Amino acid sequence: MSSFIVDILTVASDVLIAVGSLVIVIGALGLLRMPDVFTRMHAAGMIDTTGAGFVFAGLILKAGFGLVAFKLVVLMGLLFFTSPVATHALARAALYGGVSPHLAEDSELDGMVEGYPIARE
């Protein structure tokens, strides 16, 4: 019975890690395919939230109930609190640094240009 539970936990953690890895690969692919800095950051953001989250969840199941699992939870928390700050800082720096975002034709660019050094093409 207990080995049955262990089997389930092993399979579940393997699946979670595999899903997380898949998300990371897709995010990396998106990083290559996207047209500009801002759109690329969306793909990168996917890696450090969903990708890392799933891998962490899988590792927590693998670690079992104990100090290591708690440390992993704390690490996950730290990552989820800090990564949006880093992403925001990068995006803001790019915008104020004069990087023109690649925008779709149907977006209301005109209302947005004021206040930002967005160069018109």
Partner 1 sequence: MRLISLATVLFAFWLLLSGHYTTLLIAIGLIAVIGTVLLARRMGVADEEGHPIHLLVGALSYWPWLALEIIKSTIAVSRLVLAPGLAVSPRLVKVRAGQKTPVGINIYANSITLTPGTITVDVKGDVLTVHALTRESAADLASGAMDARVRRLEGGEWKVARGAEGGEGSAGEGEVGAARGEEGRQ
Binding site for partner 1 (CB under 8 A): 23, 26-27, 29-30, 33-36, 38-39, 41-43, 45-46, 49-50, 53, 67, 70-71, 74, 80-81, 83-85, 87-88, 91-92, 94-95, 101-104, 106-109, 112, 116
- Of the pair 6, 107, the CB lying nearest partner 1 is at 107
Q: How far is the CB of 61 from partner 1 (least distance, A)?
A: 16
Report CA 117 to chain centroid distance, whole Å. 27
Distance CA(35)–CA(6), nearest Å, equals 45
Q: 5: which 2 tokens?
A: 């539970």
- Of the pair 6, 74, the CB lying nearest partner 1 is at 74
The torsion angle over the Cα atoms of residues 114, 115, 118 and 119, rounded to 10 degrees, is: 60
Q: Cβ distance 23 to 50 under 8 Å?
A: yes
- Of the pair 6, 88, the CB lying nearest partner 1 is at 88
Q: How far is the CB of 62 from partner 1 (least distance, A)?
A: 18
- Of the pair 7, 84, the CB lying nearest partner 1 is at 84
Q: How many CB atoms lie within 10 A of CB 84?
A: 13
Q: 99: which 2 tokens?
A: 């990087």
